[in-house]
Amino acid sequence: MDYYKSPTKDMMFLLDVFDYESRVSTLEAFADYDKDMVGAILDTASAVCIDKLLPLNSVGDAEGLKWDPETGDVTTPEGFKGAYATLVENGLLGVTCTPEYGGMGGPEVLGIYSSEIMIATNKSFSMCPGLSRGLIDALAAHGSDEQKEFYLPKLISGEWSGTMCLTEPQCGTDLGLIRTKAIPQDDGSYKLTGTKIWITFGEHDLAENIIHLVLARLPDAPEGIKGISAFIVPKKIDGELNNVKCTGLEHKMGIKASPTCVIDMEDSTGFLVGTPHKGMRSMFVMMNAARLHVGVEGIALGSIAYQTALAFAKDRRQMRAIDPAKQDQNAAADNILVHPDVRRMLLNVKATTEGLRALGAWISMEYDVAHHHPDADTRKAADDIVALLTPVIKSYGSEQGFLNISEAMQVCGGAGYTTDWNIEQYMRDERIALIYEGTNHIQALDLVGRKLRIDSGRLLRTFQGRISELIVESKDDERMAEFLTPLKTISKKLVGATMEMGGAAMEDPEVVGAVASPYLNLFAMCALTYVWAKQAHYVLNNDVPFGETKLKTARYFNTKILPQAETLIATIATGKSNIMDFDIEELEVI
């Protein structure tokens, strides 16, 4: 059974916390998107997703997909096609896309919120419009005017859908090993031949056409990553099939209603996107947007799992309360919410889920500023925050989301392990988020090996500057002391760990690979402490109906979750010790 109420109240609160009306809705691009408009669209998205997508969630998981090996056609579960048509009719697939090509032109924060609601109600389904959004972004950034005019209106409306085709049987993370070939033709097109694997919604029956963004090599391509070009390869051209065929579906742990396809191309017609040998530029546009939304998957599924566990806990009676005053004398046992450990598990999920939602709101609003503010320095500072925190929310958001679903399952005991309460599906559906769009360790390496090094640490200085601004703004408010003290402490420890890691890596570069993942989690702890302090500051200075609950949750995070940072700091300090000491033979089973 599904239990879900859209968290729009929290979403709208976060718009106030991060100054949406002064930082985003005042931008010329979003003049029509005041808070009331954002709220109205979220209400529509919530109603449609809860009415159309949520009832199909467990149905799609049980029914799965049908693949015809003769034609390569894939049929989605019953009801999916109708639900897709409903979203198209309501314009919900182009919320953040440019009005020039038929989109609603909404801010990214609205897109992130809408994404959370869709993922929570049906993650498998949400992956189709999610991939289309990535292709839209890539074409908007690197496509020719003719490509934009031809493809974007149909992709934005949902008439067509999109994919990204990176991985091949011999390469995943190391895209320099790609073998798919693209041969130039006299008419300016190309003929592509190769096999791509793990292609999400690479074949389906929801849209009239599927547009693949494919990485391939030209005949004169240099070796490695510098020899990759990007191509549009439609499933159909002028209504005729383009010899792009799904030759198999992966049998997966979760997201069973989302087709993960093997796509074979044999002299398939394609069209170059951007500059030859510079295809990674368009692909990174696609992937960077996707990584933020993957972090949201942890928020979304953690949220619905929490709501499910809470509904279970409200009805479940087991044993007596430890405190006699809390015992129900009219029942043989007490509600499990009287037990401290049940409260602990639920609050672990609540504090991290709401903290991550706040982090996502902040990042997405900075995204809006980075892309639309008239001042170059303001855009640059906002882009620093987005670049720095995207790997953090992708990795920590997906990992903590998975742990939160596990915690919610534990609250329900044996019932949580059954299909009756759906939490086991949320866990299976979430696990892939730690892997795709760049594994979490790749995100950690991106943070440590690339983002921290830009302009001698400029991005980190920008992040620390935001923390300093809040501290200075709140220094005379004694009520903020309990929230600023842990923020100051974790901020200083993050800087210390950064310096220590950097020094050790100069002597031995393997240190970065050894400590990057715990370092990213430490960074996430600091970022969440900051967004909780921001929420506390807003509550203490404004009339918020649920403000006291927010303060209690912030205190819980600081006292019960933030101490985990000490373990991360200790782990980082040990560098690569006891990791690379083992010979390969020693890794064998004893």
What pLDDT, on the 0 to 100 scale, is given for residue 171? 83
Nearest to 16 by CA among 546, 404, 584: 546
What pLDDT, on the 0 to 100 scale, is given for residue 274? 94
For tokens 């009339």, name the residue. Answer: 543
Whole-angstrom distance, CA of residue 284 vs CA of residue 379: 20
**Host H or E run for residue 315:** helix 279-315
CB 322 within 8 A of CB 159: no
For the chain, the domain total comes to: 1
Whole-angstrom distance, CA of residue 531 vs CA of residue 520: 17
What pLDDT, on the 0 to 100 scale, is given for residue 175? 77
Note whether residue 282 is domain-resident.
no
Whole-angstrom distance, CA of residue 557 vs CA of residue 577: 31
Note whether residue 76 is domain-resident.
no
DSSP 228: B
Whole-angstrom distance, CA of residue 254 vs CA of residue 422: 12
DSSP 248: E
What pLDDT, on the 0 to 100 scale, is given for residue 59? 96
Kind of pairing, strands 236-237 and 240-241? antiparallel
What pLDDT, on the 0 to 100 scale, is given for residue 76? 98
**Which residue is catalytic, options 70, 437, 469, 588?**
437
Please report the DSSP string for 57-106 in residue order: HHHHHHH--EE-TTT--EEPPTTHHHHHHHHHHTTTT-TTS-GGGT----
Average pLDDT by consecutive 10-residue portion of the chain (590 residues)?
92 98 97 97 96 97 97 97 95 92 96 97 97 94 96 97 93 83 97 97 97 96 91 97 97 98 98 93 81 96 98 90 85 90 97 98 97 97 97 98 98 95 97 94 95 95 98 96 98 96 90 96 98 98 97 98 97 92 88
Tally helices (H) and strands (E) across the chain. Answer: 18, 11
Whole-angstrom distance, CA of residue 518 vs CA of residue 294: 19
What pLDDT, on the 0 to 100 scale, is given for residue 327? 87
Note whether residue 28 is domain-resident.
no
Note whether residue 564 is domain-resident.
yes
CA 87 centroid distance within chain: 21
What pLDDT, on the 0 to 100 scale, is given for residue 589? 85
- Say which residues have a Cβ less than 8 Å from residue 188's Cβ, sequence separation at least 6: 271
Note whether residue 480 is domain-resident.
yes
CB 97 within 8 A of CB 156: yes
CB 562 within 8 A of CB 482: no
Question: How far apart, in Å, are the Cα atoms of 111 and each of 2, 100, 114, 194, 557?
Answer: 24, 18, 5, 34, 27
DSSP 222: P
Nearest to 460 by CA among 501, 500, 491, 483: 491
**Amino acid at position 239, single letter:** G
Domain that holds residue 533: 456-590
Catalytic annotation on 28?
A: no
Question: Tokens in use for 65?
Answer: 């997909």
Kind of pairing, strands 209-216 and 240-241? unpaired
Whole-angstrom distance, CA of residue 400 vs CA of residue 388: 19
Whole-angstrom distance, CA of residue 304 vs CA of residue 49: 13
Question: Tokens in use for 26?
Answer: 């005042």
Note whether residue 428 is domain-resident.
no
